[in-house]
């Protein structure tokens, strides 16, 4: 396919979509959460229902990616009204179709959040849950069929790639990304534009582009949702990144626990290749780029970039000391660019709408939006995307609908096993990289666990320490032995057998492991411990014996 | 190679660019403690004993893997580094079952010497006392996991110098173990050439020949370095 | 200067450290000039007295040891962990890799020297072993550690002599640090 053909296809798909606006489009959420509550059976039942009613011509049913409020699933969205029904199953789908498609009158007590709001919203966009959100990475998740490239094309898909290949030089692309001030969404928050530029500057006949989809934080599923809900967006981001840095080969490293994401991403690669959007001479240009999927085998440490590279090379997934950084010597010793899934999902909109547009969202130091996996003691758990700088209070009480039973908020855990806990006095903290670091936590990949007074903070620290201990690769001493020592000490304190000396040892070890470890896993493993020690020291004090 | 200036422990030194901090320090008689480093084989920066402070960098970097740069200001003996060296040594001792009094390497052990060097008279952390196996299946040698500190010098020597790649690592975290082939008893290995290089590379009494008793072990890791040097010269 | 009171204690160890102590030979006279040995495995006395220095050999292997070391801690001004067992459990700690029952069975039931009637002895007068052997510093505060299996007579004399002269010895600086 050349440029003109792509344009024609996109136009044709858009027209089709416009035509469909007069009809009904029923989107059934087939994200991970809704599938586990039975949305696949529902999808089948819905198709039967539509067929028996003879509505096939007026109604299009599509499975989509995640819509957000996962604990209300399975979710079904009716377009063009944008009406979402919650907890729909095979038994109550009939009246919904009758009301929504035939009578054009929504059933109020089955609408999204109908059990907790006095008046649920017919157009879900008006609900505070969605109103406070700004979806960029998740933009089309929940609206398109992730298994159809044409659905993506009808939503401005691959237009950014077209623009990049024909109107922009690699320098221009890097300039635009730098201008957008987007930072890595994998956790560390390194400026993406700078990373691209560094790789671009190294002269090498071979360079590689890797997409990091080894999302391992417990409770985090944003990368999974993007890959499952809109794989082409990530693929487009990869191709643009490869064009910018001069890479001709890419790997998407996706963890093996995400079979659906792997399946959909592989399908996306196949479709893109067929349309000439991937492979040799993309859209008839001189630029060639190919992508392969590499499946992770379940090691958390392989999310660390040097360990990931070792894993792609077929070696044991252990990190290497940096420098040299992957930008200089990465995959097979060649300059390598590694970006997180969510970062790549943000690239196409930046190219389409301009870096300026993106940089105006968020806070001065953290531009754009961030996806959070909201979980724990919260009314509306699920996946949300908010502008950087949204306060924790807004997320919990406006988007998340507050705590169940009106319980008092105690702490929010961000960043999973590498992050920390934010106590109630910092509810008004702006969620951006720097603010979270100043509180001893990190943004991380976006896990956000809300806790009330029933959570014991020493136990929380122990839980995450156990995770880090189990997931340490065992290469360097501080992480391998230090995390085990800290876990043992925490267990001792949890069993009310700890002493003052144990507490002092624990603090000393935490700082040591943080500073002496080889890679980010060890360096951040003590964070949950250190932050609970900082904000909830009394809970530790209450548990230790007063004398040796 | 171009000469550049670096400052190590307030000493102004001239060194060849491209060299690691460890190499420059050793050339200039500045002591750096190491455990996973063995002259001639690839450095991995795993033991974290050689950590140094570099001005302008808030991270501690391993001297064995970090290359010098012009005007780098390096500190190798700050209080923090000395403290961390001690903790690392303590963790080495606490991790597995190091009973010097019954060990073949007693008196010749690099870990023991490291303990003396950092002035370690006792270990403040509770011992982990893991159950470790002793592989005596090889005709001549023994692998005692109780005494292994996971420096992986044996793994690298076997792969890089002998070219046999009998040794590798399995599991993760504190469950890591050195394995022969795909975790078969050493005596049944199809790749081991019984060359004994791993024995000399091993810093402790984890790998030892069967015909000796307590304190009799004599290792010569320098032999491996010499071998590598001679191969380079084509001797 | 009044004479100091010195005690030596034998917990879970092989008494090798005490043998090494005897190896200071005639230098025992120098010690005797500065201190009285008021309690020791070779000195009769039921109650543990108040002392200036207690040299404690061996690790804590039973409840009885635990009570004893806590009492010693209360009554000794300076408590010295004497030898590798007291400092890092050493050989006595080698049973920690296994459950206690397995250790008993292996030594009393299935040992090669036992016939088929081998059984684990049990009598109330016998020591009740704890599941795990721990070094002294796990249960009490230790003022000085003197590792070695055993520490050499020279090192022991050096440490004792320094303490008896109200100086704190430094093994590392004196190049007398040794394990095993």
Q: Which residues, in sequence order, are CB contacts of A228 under 8 Å at separation 6+? A: A30, A31, A32, A65, A66, A146, A258, A260, A261, A264
**Touching check for C96 and chain B: CB below 8 Å?**
yes
**Average pLDDT of the residues in B211-229:** 88
**Touching check for B123 and chain C: CB below 8 Å?**
yes
Residue to test with chain B: of A321, A323, A506, A509, most B Cβ within 10 A: A321
Beta bridge partners of A62: A27
- A437 and A462 fall within a common domain: no
| Residue C57 belongs to some domain of the structure | yes
Rounded to whole angstroms, the Cα distance separating B103 from A318 reads 31
Query: Tokens for A519?
Result: 């890679």
| Residue A130 belongs to some domain of the structure | no
Phi then psi for residue A159, to 5 deg, are -75, -35
Query: Tokens for B11?
Result: 């000493």
pLDDT of residue A205: 93
Residue to test with chain B: of C61, C170, C179, most B Cβ within 10 A: C179
Chain C partners within 8 Å of B129 (Cβ) = 93, 96-97, 132
Query: Tokens for A342?
Result: 């969510």
- A114 and A170 fall within a common domain: no
| Residue C146 belongs to some domain of the structure | yes
Provide the shortest C-alpha distance from residue B38 to chain C (in Å). Answer: 24
Which of A358, A386, A416 terminates a domain? The answer is A358
| Residue C107 belongs to some domain of the structure | no
Contact B174/A320, CB-based, under 8 Å? Answer: no
CATH number at residue A520: 1.20.1440.230
Percent of the residues in chain C that have a pLDDT greater than 70, as a whole number? 99
Q: Total structural domains in chain A?
A: 4
- A166 and A295 fall within a common domain: yes
**Touching check for B121 and chain C: CB below 8 Å?**
yes
Domains of chain B: 3-75 (3.10.20.740), 84-233 (3.30.70.20)
| Residue A8 belongs to some domain of the structure | no
| Residue A499 belongs to some domain of the structure | yes
Rounded to whole angstroms, the Cα distance separating A117 from B103 reads 72
- A284 and A162 fall within a common domain: yes
Residue-range definition of the domain harbouring residue A234? 149-358
pLDDT of residue B90: 96
Provide the shortest C-alpha distance from residue B30 to chain A (in Å). Answer: 21
CATH number at residue A419: 3.10.20.600
pLDDT of residue C126: 87
- A258 and A111 fall within a common domain: no
Contacting subunits of B (3+ beta carbon pairs below 8 A): A, C
- A272 and A385 fall within a common domain: no
3-state secondary structure of B96: coil
Contact A481/B44, CB-based, under 8 Å? Answer: no
| Residue C8 belongs to some domain of the structure | yes
**Average pLDDT of the residues in B187-203:** 95
Bridging pattern class, strands B134-135 and B61-62? unpaired
Report ipTM (2 d.p.).
0.96
**Touching check for A474 and chain B: CB below 8 Å?**
yes
Contact B127/C88, CB-based, under 8 Å? Answer: yes
| Residue C99 belongs to some domain of the structure | no
Which of A296, A331, A358 terminates a domain? The answer is A358
> Can you tell me which residue has the tokens 């970090």?
B66
Q: Is B49 exposed, middle or buried (0-12, 13-18, 19+ CB in 10 A)?
A: buried
Which of B48, B95, B172 comes nearest A516 by C-beta?
Answer: B48
- A487 and A433 fall within a common domain: no
| Residue C108 belongs to some domain of the structure | no
| Residue C121 belongs to some domain of the structure | no
B14 CB neighbour count, 10 Å cutoff: 10
Residue to test with chain A: of B53, B173, B175, most A Cβ within 10 A: B173
**Touching check for B126 and chain C: CB below 8 Å?**
yes
Provide the shortest C-alpha distance from residue B113 to chain C (in Å). Answer: 9
- A178 and A327 fall within a common domain: yes
CB A50 within 8 A of CB A56: yes
- A423 and A396 fall within a common domain: yes
| Residue C17 belongs to some domain of the structure | yes
pLDDT of residue C1: 62
DSSP state letters, A217-282: STT--HHHHHHHH-HHHHHHHHHHHHHHHT--EEEEEEETT-HHHHHHHHHHHHHHHHTTSSBSSG
Contact A480/B174, CB-based, under 8 Å? Answer: yes
CATH number at residue C47: 3.40.50.700
Residue-range definition of the domain harbouring residue C16? 4-93+133-164
The contact set of B with A (CB < 8 A) is 44-48, 51, 59-62, 65-67, 80, 83-84, 87-88, 91-92, 94-95, 124-126, 128, 150, 168-169, 171-176
Which of C147, C149, C180 comes nearest B121 by C-beta?
Answer: C147
pLDDT of residue A406: 87
Which of B44, B128, B169 comes nearest A484 by C-beta?
Answer: B128
Q: Total structural domains in chain C?
A: 1
Which of C84, C138, C146 comes nearest B126 by C-beta?
Answer: C138
- A183 and A266 fall within a common domain: yes
CB A477 within 8 A of CB B47: yes
Which of A312, A335, A358 terminates a domain? The answer is A358
- A202 and A318 fall within a common domain: yes
CA triple C86-C87-C89, angle to 5 deg: 65
Could you list the beta-strand ranges (E) of B166-220. 167-170, 177-180, 207-209
pLDDT of residue C121: 86
Q: For residue A321, what is the nearest residue in chain B, using CA coordinates?
A: B45
Q: For residue B176, what is the nearest residue in chain A, using CA coordinates?
A: A474
Half-sphere exposure for A101 (CA within 13 Å, toward CB): 25
In chain A (548 residues long), the average pLDDT of successive 10-residue segments reads 84 77 84 88 90 85 92 89 90 87 86 87 90 92 91 92 95 96 90 96 96 91 93 96 96 94 96 94 94 94 95 94 93 96 96 95 93 93 94 94 91 92 94 92 90 93 95 95 96 91 93 96 94 94 75
CA triple C8-C10-C13, angle to 5 deg: 135
Provide the shortest C-alpha distance from residue C177 to chain B (in Å). Answer: 6
């Amino acid at each position: 396919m050349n440029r003109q053909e792509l344009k024609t296809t996109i136009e044709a798909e858009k027209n089709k979509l416009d035509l469909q606006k007069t009809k009904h489009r029923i989107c059934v959420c087939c994200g991970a959460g809704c599938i586990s509550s039975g949305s696949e059976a529902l999808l089948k039942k819905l198709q039967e229902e539509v067929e028996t009613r003879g509505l096939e011509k007026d109604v299009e049913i599509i499975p989509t990616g995640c819509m957000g409020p996962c604990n209300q699933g399975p979710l079904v969205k009716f377009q063009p009204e944008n009406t979402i029904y919650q907890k729909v199953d095979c038994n109550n789908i009939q009246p919904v179709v009758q009301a929504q498609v035939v009578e054009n009158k929504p059933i109020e007590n089955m609408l999204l959040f109908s059990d907790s709001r006095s008046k649920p919203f017919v157009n879900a966009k008006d609900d505070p849950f969605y109103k406070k959100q700004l979806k960029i990475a998740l933009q089309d998740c929940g609206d398109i069929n992730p298994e159809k490239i044409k659905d993506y094309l009808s939503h401005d898909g691959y237009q950014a790639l077209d623009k990049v290949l024909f109107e922009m030089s690699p320098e221009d692309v890097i300039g635009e990304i730098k201008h957008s001030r987007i930072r890595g969404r994998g956790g560390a928050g390194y400026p993406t534009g700078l990373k691209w530029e560094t790789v671009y500057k190294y002269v090498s006949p071979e360079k590689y582009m890797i997409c990091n989809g080894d999302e391992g934080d417990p409770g985090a599923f944003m990368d999974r949702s993007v890959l499952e809900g809109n794989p082409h967006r990530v693929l487009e981001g990869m191709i643009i990144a490869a064009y910018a840095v001069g890479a001709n080969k890419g790997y998407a490293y996706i963890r093996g626990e995400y079979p659906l994401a792997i399946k959909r991403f592989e399908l996306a690669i196949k479709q893109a290749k067929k349309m000439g959007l991937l492979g040799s001479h993309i859209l008839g240009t001189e630029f060639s780029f190919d992508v392969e999927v590499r499946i992770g085998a379940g090691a958390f440490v392989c999310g660390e970039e040097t360990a990931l590279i070792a894993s792609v090379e077929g070696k044991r997934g252990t990190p290497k000391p940096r420098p040299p950084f992957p930008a200089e010597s990465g995959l097979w010793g060649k300059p390598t660019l590694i970006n997180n899934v969510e970062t790549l999902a943000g690239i196409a909109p930046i190219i389409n709408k301009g870096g300026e547009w993106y940089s105006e969202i968020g806070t001065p130091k953290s531009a754009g939006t961030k996806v959070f996996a909201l979980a724990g003691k919260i009314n509306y758990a699920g996946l949300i995307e908010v502008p950087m700088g949204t306060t924790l209070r807004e997320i919990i009480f406006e988007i998340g609908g507050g705590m169940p039973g009106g319980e008092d908020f105690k702490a929010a855990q961000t960043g999973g096993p590498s992050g920390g806990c934010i106590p109630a006095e910092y509810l008004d903290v702006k969620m951006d990289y720097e603010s979270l670091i100043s509180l001893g936590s990190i943004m991380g990949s976006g896990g956000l666990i809300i806790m009330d007074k029933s959570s014991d903070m020493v136990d929380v620290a122990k839980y995450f320490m156990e995770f880090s201990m189990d997931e340490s690769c065992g290469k360097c001493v501080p992480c391998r032995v230090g995390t085990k020592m800290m876990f043992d000490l925490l267990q001792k304190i949890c069993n009310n057998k700890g002493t003052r000396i144990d507490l002092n040892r624990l603090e000393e070890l935490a700082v040591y492991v943080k500073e002496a470890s080889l890679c980010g896993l060890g360096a951040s493993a003590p964070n949950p411990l250190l932050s609970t020690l900082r904000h909830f020291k009394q809970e530790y004090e209450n548990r230790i014996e007063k004398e040796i | 190679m171009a000469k550049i200036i670096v400052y190590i422990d307030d000493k102004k030194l001239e060194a060849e660019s491209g060299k690691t901090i460890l190499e420059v320090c050793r050339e200039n008689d500045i002591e750096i403690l190491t455990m996973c480093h063995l002259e001639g084989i690839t450095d991995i920066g795993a033991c974290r004993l050689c950590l140094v402070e570099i001005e302008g960098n808030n991270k501690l970097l391993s001297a064995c893997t970090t290359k010098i740069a012009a005007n780098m200001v390096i500190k190798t003996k700050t209080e923090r580094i000395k403290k961390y060296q001690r903790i690392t040594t303590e963790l080495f001792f606490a991790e597995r079952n190091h009973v010097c009094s019954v060990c073949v390497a007693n008196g010749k052990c690099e870990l023991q010497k490291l303990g003396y060097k950092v002035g370690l008279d006792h270990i403040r952390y509770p011992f982990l006392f893991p159950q470790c196996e002793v592989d005596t299946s090889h005709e001549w040698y023994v692998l005692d996991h109780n005494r292994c500190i996971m420096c992986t010098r044996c793994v690298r020597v076997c792969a890089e110098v002998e070219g046999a790649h009998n040794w590798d690592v399995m599991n993760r975290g504190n469950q890591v173990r050195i394995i022969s082939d795909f975790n078969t008893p050493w005596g049944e290995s199809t790749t081991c050439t019984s060359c004994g290089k791993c024995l000399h590379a091993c810093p402790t009494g984890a790998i030892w020949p069967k015909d000796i008793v307590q304190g009799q072990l004599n290792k010569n890791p320098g032999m491996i370095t010499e071998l590598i040097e001679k191969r380079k010269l084509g001797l | 200067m009044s004479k100091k009171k010195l005690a030596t204690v034998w917990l879970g160890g092989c008494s090798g450290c005490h043998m090494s102590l005897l190896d200071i030979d005639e230098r025992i006279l120098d010690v005797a000039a500065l201190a009285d040995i008021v309690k020791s495995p070779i000195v009769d006395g039921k109650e543990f007295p108040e002392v200036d220095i207690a040299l404690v050999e061996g690790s804590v292997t039973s409840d009885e040891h635990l009570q004893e070391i806590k009492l010693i801690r209360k009554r000794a001004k300076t408590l010295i962990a004497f030898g590798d067992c007291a400092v890092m459990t050493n050989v006595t700690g080698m049973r920690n890799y296994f459950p206690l029952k397995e250790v008993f069975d292996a030594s009393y039931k299935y040992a090669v020297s036992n016939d088929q009637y081998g059984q684990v002895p049990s009598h109330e007068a016998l020591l009740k072993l704890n599941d795990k052997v721990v070094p002294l510093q796990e249960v009490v505060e230790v003022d000085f550690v003197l590792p070695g299996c055993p520490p050499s007579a020279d090192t022991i004399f050096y440490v004792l002599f320094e303490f008896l002269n109200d100086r704190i010895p430094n093994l590392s600086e004196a190049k007398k640090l040794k394990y095993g």
